[in-house]
Amino acid sequence: MADIARARQLRKAETWAEKLMWRWLRDRRFSNYKFRRQHPEGLYTLDFFCGEARLSVELDGGQHGAPDQQSHDAERKAYLASRGIKELRF
């Protein structure tokens, strides 16, 4: 239940980039694929997730350039890959 509460909190505090991306992805507007935003997946919350394509779309801020954040991102990518989820980062 805590995952769902966190996802709701993140949806309420979305960035301008997330708002713009959601306009393009919602209601099957992108090649008729259904996307969810702030989707809980194990220990992680995915910005946008398409279950049909097993695809995660992530919009990263400047903090992702820090070395410790890069190692965290690599662990996350490996975890998602082990679950069969491809990841696109922007």
Contact 64, 33 (CB under 8 A): no
Q: Which helix (H) or strand (E) holds 73?
A: helix 67-82
Domain boundaries, the chain: 2-89
Task: Evaluate if residue 26 carries a pLDDT over 60.
Answer: yes
The reported pTM is: 0.80
Q: Could you read off the pLDDT of 34-86 as tens digits, one per residue?
A: 999 989 898 888 999 999 999 999 987 655 456 666 788 889 999 999 999 99
pLDDT at 83: 96
Sheet holding 36-41, edge to edge: 36-41, 44-50, 55-58, 86-89
Query: Cα(63)–Cα(55) distance, rounded to whole angstroms?
Result: 23
Contact 20, 50 (CB under 8 A): no
DSSP state, residue 29? T
CATH of domain 2-89: 3.40.960.10
